[in-house]
Structure 1
Amino acid sequence: MIDNILFINTGTGWGGLEKWHYQTALELKKRDYKIFILAKENTTFYDRCKRTNFKIEKMKHIADATFINPIRVHWLVKYLKRNNIDAVFLAQSSHFKYGSLSAKLAGVEKIIYRRALAKPVKNKFYNRFLLKYCISDFMSISKMTRDENLKNLPADCLPNEKIKLIYKGVKKDKFIAPEIKSDIRREFGIRDDELIIANIGRLCRQKAQQYLIEALPQVLEVHEKIKVLIIGGKGGKEELYKSKVKKLGVEDKVIFTGFREDIPSILKQIDFMVHTAIYEGGSPWVILEAMMAGVPIVTTKAITIPEFVIDGETGYLAEDKNPADIAKKIIKMINNQEREKMGERAFEIAQDNFSLKKMIDDIEDKILKR
């Protein structure tokens, strides 16, 4: 019987992994599991978990070599036994190594390694040992991620029965009928006859908003009545992108909104989304959220995205790092009189496959088996 569940996360930021851990822990708590958290103090993740009244303790950073530190391993084994932990969720390579070894020594029943990064697990002897003898479940968040993770490993170190495909899930009600917190046309002075295109994500190398900016002059040659919202917190590229906008002479078409907490409200007011990432770990939150909101999408292929966005059915796929092709697909979306139907189809797929409820149901059915 699985009752006590531990999540270990010593990240210092608030990204997709922290969001997944927090939401999953919260939903499992609603289903009467007892939730325990080990996290780095004075982080957003730690503070949110503390406010939610999870049983939380602080933990120092987990490095790649922490799993060979007998003092750290002994501490975690004692913690797991003292709190009668039945299941532990691990992510990131360093957490997997340290947490799976300690949990096995402590006799934890369910040791789950959830890997969201679409890169091969290194074929090292310790990885093979931990996968074969320590973890109970290897949790993948997409087919492409799973295939990339396992391609360099011998088949016998991770039997098929351990491999579980469980997609990320978003709150359905949050995106179907959100509270409209701000009229973005009024807030940003956007005319009624202008289309609103949004890009949502940190202003960083991974999300690569420069390719959207570089595509705009070509789009504007055909369609002038558009506004582009670039929505996201600082990620190191903000000034570079603003400079590029000015250099290309599209300042009157691009609005940098900064970080926003009203994404569901914004999604309900835009015409379509453009996602220009050069890589994604698995299933990007913003893609799933846009689909649940019924928003059609123009996106780069970015390794895993074609598993979620169906070209010509729920959106259009463009070549990575290719402003000309991105512009071509944006123009195609603007000209598409069936845009609304694309969004409706995206919503149908999202509610059937990518809801938060389905994700938690799958975790219970495939892993916890309560």
Structure 2
Amino acid sequence: MRRLVLMMVLIIFFSPSINADEGGYTAQFRFDIPNPEPVSTIFEECFIELDLSDNCSHDSDSITLSWWLWSDQTNSDWPDDDAKSRSGIYNLSSNSDFESVSFFNQYESKTNAIENYSKIDSSMPIIDLVGEIIIVEGETGPWYIRMPIEMTPTQNLTDDTLLYIFLSKQNAIDMHGRVSTNLIYDMKPEVGFGIKANNTTSAEWIISSEHLYAAGIDFEEDPYGWQITMAFFGSIESDNSSEQLLSMHHFDLPFKSQNIDSTALYLPILIFVLLGIICFGLVSQSYRNEKGMPKISAGWKDDVTLIIDVQSFQKRVEVKSVKIEAPWKMRNNPKSRFIEPNQLVNIEIKVKQKLPDNCNIGIQLEVDELGSWTQYLALNSPTVEK
């Protein structure tokens, strides 16, 4: 039984864990960056109004994300710094008569976006991106994002090629109960990659915990509904007449049960089952031990004769020796004897003389499968008992 318990403990401690320690951080979960969206998918950025109304198209062939500009005016806890920065690129002013407006692949017209992506359709894919998204817990605690990637352009790209990483929430609710769909919390530009054809860049892009905190993002407290959009904007060097959406990856962050692999999912269940087996085994063994333990009692037959009763149960018992502590002395020394299961045996001990002190008896026993020990009994003097 001890070997079984040890084996179970080793299985539990050395089984693969949900969290993996690597390089000073713990990966809470990780998954591969999925394939890019089709070239026909439009990236729509919708700037919503102060009262949350919008003119966003939300078409099925588009990925629509929302920008919020009004936290100063409304005392909302939604971030708006990146929204204001982005609106500046589009020359928007957030005044009181602001009306919702959308941009499509950074064009004011969806028609222009369609005309431009049709020019590069035959060249797709222009960017080959593979890598992982890892949500990690650092040494100091806060969670952040690591993106180890390999990126290879299939065409020479212009120097102004840029990646925007947008972090948005499907159903965003602010401190006042306002609700917005696919609201962008954070935008991070990235230029750490090569732009020459067939030149592979190996890099790791990081969105730090400080950066996430400033954007009001806490994955540990609020893990659900987040999504990442990775949009590459630039031009092919051979045709740099207009800036294009060169490639786009859009995906949910599958926190918790959506991303736990089968080993991690069943490990807690396995541990629970193993602990149940161990507990059952220990209780069963204890019950069997109790049933195998003999019952021993002693009493005086007369002033110089005591009787030891040994009742065996499910195990055979060997009475190896009987000793009496001084000042008492025995006249006879009982021989070792075996007691078969479920038998009652009386052992008679003669003492030399009656004494006023308590009589302490040591009975050395060995029980099959349970081991050996000395059972001690204490009897009052026959004088005291009378």
Shorter-chain TM band: under 0.3
**Greater percentage in helix:** 1
User: If the length of structure 2 is used for normalisation, what is the TM-score?
Assistant: 0.20
- Look at both structures and tell me which one has the larger radius of gyration over its CA atoms: 2
More relative contact order, 1 or 2 (CA 8 Å, 6+ apart) = 1
**Greater percentage in strand:** 2
